[in-house]
Amino acid sequence: MSGPARPVAVLVGLPGAGKTTIGRKLARRLDVEFRDVDQMIEESEGRSIPEIFAADGEPGFREIEERTVGEALDSFGGVLSLGGGAVLSAVTRQRLQGHRVIHLTIGVAEGVRRSRGSSRPLLAGGDVTARYQALLTERSPLYREVAWSTVSTERRSSGKVVTDIVDRLGSGDPHVRGPLDRA
């Protein structure tokens, strides 16, 4: 008898890095289910992320997020995409140990471009570039702490990124690069 399901891959990264887009395509390629923690939170809470932030503040949202991530890590066997700030929780970082966590990276300018017009509470209003840079500075060490592998999405097609991740997962080597990406 097998144990509880574990995610095949867990995607982390800043807003706009491609966690949802890459996650969906990766799940299709691996023939597994895809789940996005932010979407899971919205469904379970019956409110949007901005509504949760407005009513409960960031601490209230992070508490819900920590619980949802823990439940998903214990029971979900597909590709799981975490919200960009999920790694702020020490409990979540501890829970991610032993999982194949793929850190999707992106530069500030491209991340801001991809995130413009979104309803992301931490990027709303003011100098979005400065806010994005602050998120990058704060979160990069935490992403590195939990990452099994790091993959850039900057100026790369989602297909190449997915192939790169599939090659790494298949080989068990977090640093292997697929034939399309070799120099």
The pLDDT score that the predictor gives to residue 183 is: 35
The pLDDT score that the predictor gives to residue 182 is: 39
Domain annotation covers residue 183: no
Residues of 138-171 as b/e, b for ≥16 C-beta within 10 angstroms?
ebeebbeebbbbbbbbeeeeeeebbbbbbbbbee
Beta strand ranges found along 54-130 (DSSP E)? 79-81, 101-105
Domain annotation covers residue 4: no
The pLDDT score that the predictor gives to residue 86 is: 95
3-state SS assignment for residue 124: coil
Domain annotation covers residue 107: yes
9-12 and 79-81 strand pairing: parallel
The pLDDT score that the predictor gives to residue 1 is: 41
> In total, how many domains does the chain have?
1
Domain annotation covers residue 114: yes
- Distance between CA atoms of residues 24 and 19, nearest Å: 8
Burial degree of 17 (CB within 10 A; 0-12, 13-18, 19+): buried
101-105 and 9-12 strand pairing: parallel
Contacts of 51 (CB under 8 A, 6+ apart): none
Domain annotation covers residue 96: yes
Residue-by-residue pLDDT tens, the chain, 183 positions: 445 678 999 999 998 899 999 999 999 999 999 999 999 999 999 999 889 988 999 899 999 999 999 999 999 999 999 999 999 999 999 999 999 999 999 988 888 777 765 555 555 567 778 888 888 999 999 999 999 999 999 888 999 999 999 999 988 878 776 544 433
The pLDDT score that the predictor gives to residue 66 is: 96
Range of the domain at 100: 9-178
Domain annotation covers residue 23: yes
Taking a C-beta distance cutoff of 8 angstroms, is the pair 163, 153 a contact?
Answer: no
**174's tokens:** 């977090």
- Distance between CA atoms of residues 126 and 134, nearest Å: 13
- Distance between CA atoms of residues 7 and 41, nearest Å: 18
CATH of the domain at 129: 3.40.50.300
Domain annotation covers residue 3: no
The pLDDT score that the predictor gives to residue 181 is: 40
Domain annotation covers residue 38: yes
The pLDDT score that the predictor gives to residue 110 is: 84
Taking a C-beta distance cutoff of 8 angstroms, is the pair 92, 86 a contact?
Answer: yes
The pLDDT score that the predictor gives to residue 125 is: 63
Q: How far is CA 45 from CA 12, 20, 37, 39, in A?
A: 22, 20, 12, 10
The pLDDT score that the predictor gives to residue 124 is: 58
